[in-house]
Amino acid sequence: MTETAPERVNGHVKPQVSLLKFAPETTAEPAPPTVEEVPDVLTETIIDVVANAEPRPVDPPTAGREPGSWLAEKQAYLAEAPPVVPTFLRNAAEFVDAARWTVSYYAHVTAFHALRAPVYLARLLLRAPRGTWRLIVRWGKWVADTEARPVEAKAAASADIEAWLALSREHSRRVRPRRIASLAVATSTGITTIVAGFLVPGWTLTAYVAAAAVTGCFGKKGDKPLITRYVATNVLRRLDSTEVFDALAAIGIEGKKGRRGVEFASEAMRDGPGWRAEVDLPPGVEATAVLEKRAALAAAMRRPISTVWPEADRTAHPGRLVLWVAQRDPAKAGRKLWPLMKDGQADVYEPLPYGFDPRGNLIEITLMYSNLLVGGIPGSGKTSCALAIVLGVALDPTAELWIYELKGSGDLDSVKPICHRYVSGDEDEDLEAALAGMRSGIAEYQRRAAFIRSLPASEVPEGRKVTRALAQKYPEQNLGPRVIVIDEVQELFTHADYKDEAAALATRLIKKARAYGIILILLTQNPDAPSLPTSVSSSVGTRLCLAVMDWRANNNVLGTSAYERGLRATDISIDEQGTGILARGREGITVRAAFIKQTEAEDIAKRALALRTAAGTLSGQSVGALVEELDVETIVDHVQAIWPGGVEAVHSHRLVEALATYRPDLYRPWTEMDATAASTALSTALKPFKVSTRQLQIRECCGGAKGLRYTDLPAVEEDE
């Protein structure tokens, strides 16, 4: 018998569908194909469809455990493992604080109810008649055994004589001893009471009151509790997963159909005075999407917005949301004292205590090798912020304070006795003093820079900057931190005559002086573009934004795109005075400045004065000396400051006009001369610096005239 092998098409036996396109058959011998015809003649298209085909796996097969993978897994677990000992047991200060608050809580509760004990006793005595009647009724029912009455009545109604007789005998057996016992107790109690009333009336009265109080416990009403309860309206309910799921869904954060939704990375837990929930948002959803809807999230949770604090956990992944909810509204919580309120001193080279985050944790602010910009609308608590910062600096005996309070309100007068320079006022002479203070700061950093450059590398291993070690090694160089505070700095930046120089000086100090211990702190209540030059706001390292009205002001203080990244001071109410977003770089946290009363500020300043007196570091106005605000800037520096960017040459009369605007105190008389005399004055002033004017042809300006090329000016020293 002959067997034929099954036909195979593309490797399949009996294919369900087989579509083949063959070259057409011809009877005549075809002509040789051309190059263009070859693909059509020789190409064969095959489509193979197999029914009931099993899906092919696309993931690689599971391999055995690789060498070292067990150890790697355990190392990864250990890196994220929870602490064996709770934090409050490992931190002595935290344990003492928790124990102190626990004792104070129960002491308060005990004192609260002890004071109201007479009221509670009176309530019990008033309820005693009702309680006595209820006890007599219950006693009578027990003696008469009323519980068995329905059963006996049922037996009598059914004419079951045997059952009725059995129940009657059992009833008599139970009731008779109860009656005898009740009569005996009543007789003995009555006799004892009458006798005790004559023999020991005091004890008898006490027993009467105690018995009445006990019976009063049985006379209470359900809607009128005996114990006075304190109802804390600002203590919120516990956070649970259902609330988080529902709230995120309400603001549109939930998984799409067929995709994973919100998942908890860990269980919701206590975290300080509130609860913490770590949530993985649906794939493709970033945590900033929730930050943008913080108000809507709080509305969905039916909680005050000041108690709901979402933030992104970038250490995990952009979709990890950490939601912290306060148990009590922080806006209504009691004041936490500034750590240096009663004792201690500060170190400007280290972070200074500033305020507290919504969890109640202490937040420190770093001033050294940085600068600070504080902005917020009027009434947002800028004075509280200024006091917390300035008093911290004051408690470092080695730091010089130069304060220019351009509002004239005297908010910082408490530290005046220790300031090297203190100015308060909003007149032109006060603004000029602030400009002179910045010029003096530039002169000081140039002096320090020259000294630091002269040191060998072995003495500056951390880089060419001022350190505490250098300041202590070379006390004659006076290298301690100099902190220049300008409050209401918008008065400078918006002044018609001073704004250009103020912006240039501030920018130069911010960019170059920080490494040499010169710290500039600017505070403004108008954080808009005209009041805050871009060259200043874009250079500051540390920023604090209090309540503002719109995203523009928010970004002016916190930096470009801060609003889009979720750093939104627009969500802060003006009632939350001193609360703002503290940012260094791209990351920021919400913090509330420690509130310090003016009287408390004066006491702290007295302690700071004593520290400086003992250390011998008082200087300037604090010892009655006249402060000479040195200005080492030359006309070359001024020309470089006002030189328009991207321009190669400028005529002398244009430079004179710009210089008169930049430094009217020096160059305004030149504008009263004719063009030739003003040009000659400029040329004469530049000669000592080996800079000469020349005849220039500038078509865009006014043809030929004396002027300068930018290449004629000396190069700026970048290492300053």
Q: How would you classify the pairing of strands 17-20 and 649-651?
A: unpaired
Helical pair 652-662 and 675-686, crossing angle rounded to 10 deg: 80
- Cα–Cα distance, 441 to 513 (Å, whole number): 8
In the three-class reduction of DSSP (H, G, I as helix; E, B as strand; rest coil), residue 405 is classed as strand
DSSP state of 60: P
Structure tokens at 361: 């944790």
State the CB neighbour count (10 A cutoff) for residue 498: 23
CA-to-CA separations, 417 to 256, 343, 482, 602, in angstroms, rounded: 65, 19, 16, 10
Residue ranges of the binding site for ATP:
376-383
CB under 8 Å to 631, separation ≥6 — which residues? 436, 439, 440, 443
Whether the Cβ atoms of residue 516 and residue 465 lie closer than 8 Å to each other: yes
The stretches of 200-262 forming alpha helices (DSSP H) are: 201-217, 241-250
Residue among 341, 420, 344 at smallest CA distance from 611: 344
DSSP per position, 151-171? HHHHHHHTT-HHHHHHHHHHH
Helical pair 598-615 and 382-394, crossing angle rounded to 10 deg: 20
Burial class (CB in 10 A: 0-12, 13-18, 19+), 214: middle
CB under 8 Å to 193, separation ≥6 — which residues? 204
Gyration radius (Cα) of the chain, Å: 43
Structure tokens at 634: 């030359």
Residue among 480, 419, 395, 424 at smallest CA distance from 625: 419
Task: Give per-residue burial for 543-555: e unless 16+ CB within 10 Å, then b.
Answer: bbbbbbeeeebbb
Q: Look at the block and give the residue holding tokens 């799921």.
A: 245
Q: Helix/strand/coil (H, E, C) string of 540-574? A: CCEEEECCCCCHHHHHHHHCCCCCCCCCCHHHCCC
- Cα–Cα distance, 282 to 596 (Å, whole number): 44
- Cα–Cα distance, 22 to 41 (Å, whole number): 9
The amino acid at 397:
P
Burial class (CB in 10 A: 0-12, 13-18, 19+), 316: middle
Structure tokens at 696: 């220039």
Helical pair 652-662 and 664-671, crossing angle rounded to 10 deg: 140
Q: What do you get for the CA distance between the two ends of the chain, in Å?
A: 104
Q: Look at the block and give the residue holding tokens 């809507």.
A: 296
Residue ranges of the binding site:
376-383
- Cα–Cα distance, 489 to 327 (Å, whole number): 39
- Cα–Cα distance, 347 to 266 (Å, whole number): 39
The continuous run of DSSP H or E covering 524 comes out as strand 518-524
